[in-house]
Amino acid sequence: MQMTNEIITNFNISEGLFKIKNKIKQLPLTEQLWLLEQIAHFIRDNTINGKRLDSQLAAMAADPEIQHELKNINEEFSVVEMDGLEGL
């Protein structure tokens, strides 16, 4: 068990994840393959959505109208910055 704890510490793997891995080993191969496909879809969806979100945020940051609006907001709140409370 010492080796197991070493591996968990070295790779920063939680004990719960290690237990899940052992449970997966007990599943039939068809269920392991199904689970692997589900995980792959989950990762792919998150990666695609994450990239899509990043590109949308980059487009918003480059949008002149949004830049103008942010400038207006900053100007509106610049008075508050001068009241000495910016450190709070």
Q: Name the nearest CA neighbour of 72 among 62, 64, 82.
A: 64
Residues 58-76 have a mean pLDDT of 85
Place of tokens 């980059």: 58
Whether residue 31 has pLDDT greater than 90? yes
pLDDT over 70, % of the chain = 76
Query: Mean pLDDT in the chain?
Result: 79
Fill in the amino acid letter for 37. E
Whether residue 9 has pLDDT greater than 90? no
- Helix, strand, coil percentages for the chain (3-state, nearest 5): 85, 0, 15
Q: Identify whether the C-beta of residue 18 lies closer than 8 Å to the C-beta of residue 10.
A: no
Q: With the CA atoms of 49, 54, 56 and 62 taken in that order, what torsion angle do they form, in degrees rounded to the nearest 10?
A: -170
Residues 61-74 have a mean pLDDT of 86
How far is it, in rounded angstroms, from Cα 70 to Cα 65?
A: 9
| Residue 85's pLDDT band (cuts 50, 70, 90) | low
Whether this prediction's pTM lies above 0.85 is answered by no
